[in-house]
């Protein structure tokens, strides 16, 4: 199972990566599902991302990922506003299987001082999934 050091992780198996874009006290994050999650789901056939421009709250359901096996909610990793949807991944959700950390689902903007204390580094996330 891959978990790059450049990402932070949620216990709901999403990864987030801060972009270099910080404007007017806001930070932009890229969000996707982890290698572990895509492996559990199997062949991903559909993604319903959060709506562009919507305000999402950390820990709340904001979208859905469906596979041939099951469906799973996407839980917002942070509180903020959805600023971009990755249309290429929505059109070809199977791309997540090949490169889960390149096939991001959406970008969101948070206040720069937004709490990230609930996010895990790669080592902690690998430890979490090893005990699952």
Q: 64, 65, 45, 62: which is closest to 54 by C-alpha?
A: 62
Domain 8-120 part of CATH 3.30.70.270: no
**pLDDT tens-digit readout, 10-52:** 999 999 999 976 667 889 999 999 999 999 999 999 999 999 9
Q: State the Cα–Cα distance between residues 106 and 36, nearest whole angstrom.
A: 19
Report the predicted TM-score, pTM, of the whole model to 2 decimal places. 0.92
**pLDDT tens-digit readout, 49-79:** 999 999 999 999 999 999 999 999 999 999 9
Q: 27, 33, 34, 26: which is closest to 2 by C-alpha?
A: 34
H helices, E strands: number in the chain: 4, 9
């Amino acid at each position: 199972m891959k978990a790059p050091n450049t990402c932070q992780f949620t216990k709901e198996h999403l990864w987030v990566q801060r972009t270099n874009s910080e404007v007017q006290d806001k930070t932009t994050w890229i969000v996707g599902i982890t290698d572990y999650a895509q492996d559990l789901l199997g062949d991903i056939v559909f993604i319903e991302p959060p709506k562009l421009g919507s305000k999402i709250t950390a820990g709340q359901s904001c979208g859905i990922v469906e596979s041939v096996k099951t469906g799973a909610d996407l839980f917002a990793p942070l509180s903020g506003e959805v600023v971009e949807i990755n249309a290429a991944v929505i059109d070809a959700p199977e791309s997540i299987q090949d490169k889960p950390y390149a096939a991001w689902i959406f970008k969101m903007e948070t206040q720069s001082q937004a709490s990230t204390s609930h996010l895990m580094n790669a080592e902690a996330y690998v430890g979490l999934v090893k005990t699952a």
